[in-house]
Amino acid sequence: MPEDNPIANYLKRHVPVSDEEAAQFSAAFREVKIRKRQFIVQPEFIVKNRNYVLKGAFRAYVVDDKGQDSTIAFAIEDWWITDYNSYILQKPATMFVVALEDSIILEISHEKEQALKKANHLYETFFRIRAERTAAFMQQRIISNLTQNAEERYYQFIEKYPQIVQRVPQYALASYLGMTTEFLSRIRNKRMTKNS
Amino acid sequence: MPEDNPIANYLKRHVPVSDEEAAQFSAAFREVKIRKRQFIVQPEFIVKNRNYVLKGAFRAYVVDDKGQDSTIAFAIEDWWITDYNSYILQKPATMFVVALEDSIILEISHEKEQALKKANHLYETFFRIRAERTAAFMQQRIISNLTQNAEERYYQFIEKYPQIVQRVPQYALASYLGMTTEFLSRIRNKRMTKNS
DNA sequence: AAGTAGTTCAGGAAATTTGGTTGAACTGGT
DNA sequence: ACCAGTTCAACCAAATTTCCTGAACTACTT
């Protein structure tokens, strides 16, 4: 029977755990409400948590020397988000992670995660699977950035993640896809600049 | 002669320091521009700085379990603001501090503050005075909350801080004074609910 | 030299959010 | 039954954000 414990369910979808193991796992998480525009990760601070999005939407981005920001990741319901570089290596973050809507996350601290992994090999397996998926996902993105042009990247994105397109502002999507908002606007409206 | 170094001046107004001491003190501060709606303190993050407002306006507030927010403090030019509980004890903040306008602050880090206090007894005295004033101020506020009704608190506030009333949104003032925005709106418009 | 893919800048329209007001019904204490 | 104050919902104006568009520009190909 599918319980209404999202984290336990998530775990069960990936590793063969008992109900008790799933319950123990989910007990390590804390539910936190995050208001729109609130940051859950900021540069300079060491990231304490890995976050599962229960409700809402987030954007992870970096800001370069001249104020230009690049979106690193989005996350909506049932996705995970944090600055993994900071979280995993426990060093200061370089990214911002901000709520795009009023949201609810389930967060697990780095210490608790370590404890879980030590306690039960299946949890270790789970996090390994997560990491592998994340890596695979990122590799796909790198490839797409190298091989596709702006318009192709956009159409691939709306096909793969239609739910996200509807929920994030266009400037965020543009900066995720590596183009200007103006150019994205033009792609959408199919009317490319031309000298009449 | 009054210099145009606001922090050095501030210090001199409170402890008998030489020009060199004042200069050394002010050198520990860093000027930072903050945009309207930007947070300088967020829950969970350990507060690194004590902030002197050079220009602009800030609001410190907490949000309780059921989304209700209470304003803890305001700060405008020549005031200080931070989450002192987090700053002093170096533990995670529970408050937000947000810019109500585009602003400029002078921030000093916790480490630099420690170094200053160690280096010169007068700096220690200065921070002691600051803390005492803050405590006295808070006590007044507690008393006023216990003994006055909403309307009295409002009129006392506009008398004591007319500059602030003009610059902060009404919902922020209401939540500072411990009443709903609707009720404050009614006090202002003198037209209390009445059954005709 | 001309086309392609994309950027920058600026103005403006459209959509959303914010801040404030008001009426009406309600609560808890006296 | 009254007082001080809250809650809820609707509403409005103003401010802000988001998006769109034109025009001029850059850098690479061909």
The per-residue pLDDT for range A109-142, each reduced to its tens digit, is 999 999 999 999 999 999 999 999 999 999 999 8
pLDDT of B193 above 50:
no
Question: What ranges do the domains of chain A cover?
Answer: 6-118
The mean per-residue pLDDT over the stretch B116-133 comes to 96
Res A105: pLDDT: 96
For residue B32, what is the enclosing H or E element? strand B30-34
**Contact across the interface for B67 and A38, Cβ inside 8 Å:** no
Establish if A109 touches chain B: CB-CB under 8 angstroms: no
Which of A33, A38, A48 lies nearest to residue B42, judging by beta carbons? A38
3-class DSSP state for residue B61? strand
Q: Which of A35, A37, A45 sits opposite B45 (nearest CB)?
A: A45
Distance CA B62, CA B70 (A): 5
A45 touches chain B (CB under 8 A): yes
What is the C-alpha to C-alpha distance for residues B112 and B170, in angstroms, rounded to an integer? 36
* pLDDT at A191 exceeding the cut of 60: no
Q: Which residues contact A140 (CB under 8 A, 6 or more apart)?
A: none
Q: What is the DSSP letter of B97?
A: E
pLDDT-based confidence at residue A195 (cuts at 50, 70, 90):
very low
Using 50, 70 and 90 to split pLDDT, how confident is the model at A193?
Answer: very low
CB B163 within 8 A of CB B78: no
Residue B191 has pLDDT above 60, yes or no: no
Runs of H (alpha helix) within chain B: 6-14, 19-27, 84-89, 110-119, 121-147, 150-160, 162-167, 170-177, 181-188
| A149 CA → C5 C1’, Å | 8
Output the distance from B186 CA to D3 C1' rounded to whole Å.
15
CATH class in words for B6-147? mainly beta
Split at pLDDT 50, 70, 90, the class of B195 is very low
Mutate: best of B45, B86, B98, B111, partner A, most A CBs <10 A: B45
- A121 and B CB contact within 8 Å: no
Cβ atoms B104, B31 nearer than 8 A = yes
Q: Does the beta carbon of A30 lie under 8 angstroms from any beta carbon of chain B? A: no
Strand D, nucleotides < 7 Å from a protein CB: these are: 4-9, 16-25
Helix, strand, or coil (residue A22): helix
Average pLDDT over residues B118-146: 94
Determine the distance between A66 (CA) and C8 (C1') in angstroms.
15
pLDDT classification of A196: cutoffs 50, 70, 90: very low
Amino acid A190: pLDDT: 76
Superfamily of domain A6-118 in CATH is Jelly Rolls (2.60.120.10)
